[in-house]
Structure 1
Amino acid sequence: MPHQGYGSVGGERGPVRAELARRVAAGSLREDAVQAGVADRLDRLGRELKAAALPVKSSALGWLFGRRERPAAPRGVYIYGSVGRGKSMLMDLFFQTAPVEGKRRLHFHEFMAEMHGRINAHRAAVKAGEARGDDPIPPVAEAVAAETRLLCFDEFTVTDIADAMILSRLFDALFARGLTLIATSNVAPDDLYRDGLNRPLFLPFVETLKAHTDILFLDAPTDYRMETIGAGDLYLTPLGPETDRRMDGLWRSILGPAPEAPESLPFRGRSIAVPRAGGGAARFAFADLCSRPLGAADFLAIAARYHTVMVDGVPVMAAAERNEAKRFILLIDTLYDAHRRVVVSAAAPAEALYRAPSGTEAFEFDRTVSRLIEMRSVAYLAEAERRRSGAERSGDADHA
């Protein structure tokens, strides 16, 4: 993406809007007024972030105390809408050129795993006499805000009660310390953590979110992901001897000359069993990943180690298998966000894999279906290959 700075408005398009126009002219996108409006709002935020980074004037008593006022954080943006409408694309275009130091773009589950880790570390330090304060939220928020001014979440969703219970206080503290949030989601803020346990305790976070971000509904007319379906042998159905034969053939191709062997990933004082691995790729049965008590942090460790993940034997799931369905949703979310290549054999097409009539998992599985489709697209696979090749050139095998 050609660099274009955030100068004065002056009638000029900002870099996000300019890149959209370039892609429309190249024929890779259709002209879309709704996307253009979101791009303009993101470009305005870019100008605000740049202005906020300028030297801050001293307060009236600043000369006496030698301190400067903390600048107010620019108001963030929360973009929601149906799957495949370009939300992630727009956020990524903005993140690439956002004129701010201390910016992070990561998956929500990854961020929350980090926050729980910091909270636990603070409590351990207090117990050991190395820190003070019974409440870990303020020092954790202070540390995060010192490192991060712009935080970007793709596909923001809340499903875990442990996350839900701390979000309001955590983000109250982060916003007070000058953090700006960008988030994309399939749902409006008022629908976050829908049907969640003790949801009334979560609702203050919704009000905090609406107080610090502009809520934008992206209802673009084209599902761009559906237009880029390709590489049809990366999702094989139905299950049976022929599919097994094709999966084995793909595995041999992926391995190439590399030997195959089981591996064990050390992780937080335990290990994650990888039954088949070689050449930077891993192969699991569905039950290995989704019938065991694994979570987002485990899947992040797998994504960090392997550039390709094969999953054999994904069954059709119903309400009785909601735990397995939730883990499968987290698995695909994590591998997608890391741009890993994924090969799946399944009992049914993606849109027929989860058949519960209601519940959070039924609602979220629509996103999983969309991602399973996009992960077979030419654009997705090209980016996955680019990242793999770049990691190999840098010698970073664990992040290939």
Structure 2
Amino acid sequence: MSNVMRDLYDARIASGDLHPDPAQEAVLPEFDRILTGIEAMSEKRGFFRKSPEPPKGLYIWGGVGRGKSMLMDLFVESLEVPVRRVHFHAFMQEVQNGLHEARKAGIEDSLAPVVEEVAEGLRVLAFDEMHITDIADAMIVGRLFEALMDRGVVIVTTSNRVPDDLYKNGLNRQLFLPFIDLIKQRMVVHELASETDYRQNRLSGGQVYFTPADAEAREAIEAIWQDLTGGSAEPLVLTVKGRKVEIPAFRNGVGRASFHDICGQMLGPGDYLAIAEAVRVLILENIPCLGRSNFNEAKRFVTLIDALYEARVRLICSAADQPESLYVEGEGVFEFERTASRLREMQDADWGKGAASDG
């Protein structure tokens, strides 16, 4: 069997980029199993020798900050075949858009052209953070995965949830259950049960609220962003009741946006709940002083903080002033006291612990 992933992991430890973690090491053979299976598929066969079946995929689940995304990065780096790595939310939005176009064109099986386009020339599809809350996604994801697997695409995904908890309490969940069976049949399910929350450790004790929002704050936040994500990112576009809600930069569960991006747009509670659902850490820059002149933006900010607070999302931000001094005049000052209190609480080193089981 290939030891490519083991060798890559050991090299990162030797360089000091990683620390040995038994839970992470335990999943390396599963990645190497896939690499061996893909190599076997790529070997030239004699006329009468049939190519082997694609290897089973891999579903890695576990708490936030345990290293799932880091291992996925390492795996994608090790591949020498066509691979696509994409956040699950973003991928499903692409699929839904493709279905919409196929239906407009009058295609009877609207999923078929979508599958063909996704599978074209692809050997491995790597998903970050599978988490299903949308009934439209829930109703087609089983057929989608099965069709991709039947075309030889190997699917590897990370999730914060065990398969049995996917789409938990969702509408018409009984129609979704065959997808859970498909995961168990055609993917190896592996729990990454590390005792260490690396993301939380990187933030614990460190400053997460920067004021004033000046060049020094920007530099400090950029350093945190680089540490959490490596600096590479792409926009995450969420679809909420037909509207597009965009987080300009997103990677490994960490979103980054300005106050204007999130609170300067005509967004409502459902949009902020979707954002809180999609990210585990939110970097929010340039929060201004609030009052009569930007009352609507202030109201949205209050709603955003409530959503992040309830979802136990880690908040890193730069602001014009301390929480208690952000909103000092105009209607809503009294109501903002709770928001200021929550902003204080969210700066605590232990904030966000226990969020892992919530997705």
User: TM-score, with normalisation over the residues of structure 1?
Assistant: 0.59
Aligned to 2:291: none
CA positional deviation for 1:122: 1.8
Matched, 1:343 2:293: no
Question: Structure 1 residue aligned with 2:5, among 10, 16, 33?
Answer: 16
Aligned to 2:325: none
Taking a change above 3 Å as real, the CA distance of residues 187 and 221 of structure 1, as seen in their structure-2 partners, is same
* Kept in 2: contact 1:50–1:100 (CA 8 A): no
Q: Distance in 1 between matches of 2:183 and 2:286?
A: 37
Q: What amino acid is the match of 2:272?
A: E
Aligned to 1:41: 30
CA positional deviation for 1:295: 7.4
Q: Distance in 2 between matches of 1:293 and 1:217?
A: 31
Number of residue pairs the alignment of both structures matches: 279
Matched, 1:105 2:116: no
Q: Distance in 1 between matches of 2:246 and 2:306?
A: 23
SS of equivalent residue, structure 2 residue 132: coil
Q: Distance in 2 between matches of 1:49 and 1:210?
A: 20
Aligned to 2:191: 217
Question: Structure 2 residue aligned with 1:164, among 134, 138, 148?
Answer: 138
Trace 1:320-399 onto structure 2 (pairs within 5 A).
Answer: 321=269, 324-330=272-278, 332=279, 342-343=284-285, 353-355=308-310, 365-366=311-312, 368-369=313-314, 372=315
* Kept in 1: contact 2:58–2:156 (CA 8 A): yes
Question: Structure 2 residue aligned with 1:145, among 94, 97, 119?
Answer: 119
CA positional deviation for 1:209: 1.3
Aligned to 1:52: 41
% identical equivalent positions: 36
CA positional deviation for 1:197: 1.2
Question: Structure 2 residue aligned with 1:208, among 150, 158, 182?
Answer: 182
* Kept in 1: contact 2:63–2:193 (CA 8 A): yes
CA positional deviation for 1:251: 10
Aligned to 1:180: 154
Aligned to 1:124: 104
Q: Distance in 1 between matches of 2:46 and 2:306?
A: 56
* Kept in 2: contact 1:77–1:213 (CA 8 A): yes
Q: What amino acid is the match of 1:311?
A: F
* Kept in 2: contact 1:152–1:182 (CA 8 A): yes
Structure 1: runs of 5 or more not aligned: 1-7, 61-68, 127-132, 237-242, 255-288, 356-364, 374-400
Q: What amino acid is the match of 2:285?
A: V
CA positional deviation for 1:124: 2.4
Q: Distance in 2 between matches of 1:253 and 1:82?
A: 29
CA positional deviation for 1:170: 1.3
Q: Distance in 1 between matches of 2:149 and 2:202?
A: 38
Q: Distance in 2 between matches of 1:195 and 1:326?
A: 17
User: TM-score, with normalisation over the residues of structure 2?
Assistant: 0.66
Aligned Cα RMSD in Å?
A: 3.9
Trace 1:246-257 onto structure 2 (pairs within 5 A).
Answer: 246-247=212-213, 249=214
Structure 2: runs of 5 or more not aligned: 220-236, 288-300, 317-359
Question: Structure 1 residue aligned with 2:74, among 93, 102, 115?
Answer: 93
Q: Distance in 1 between matches of 2:195 and 2:286?
A: 29
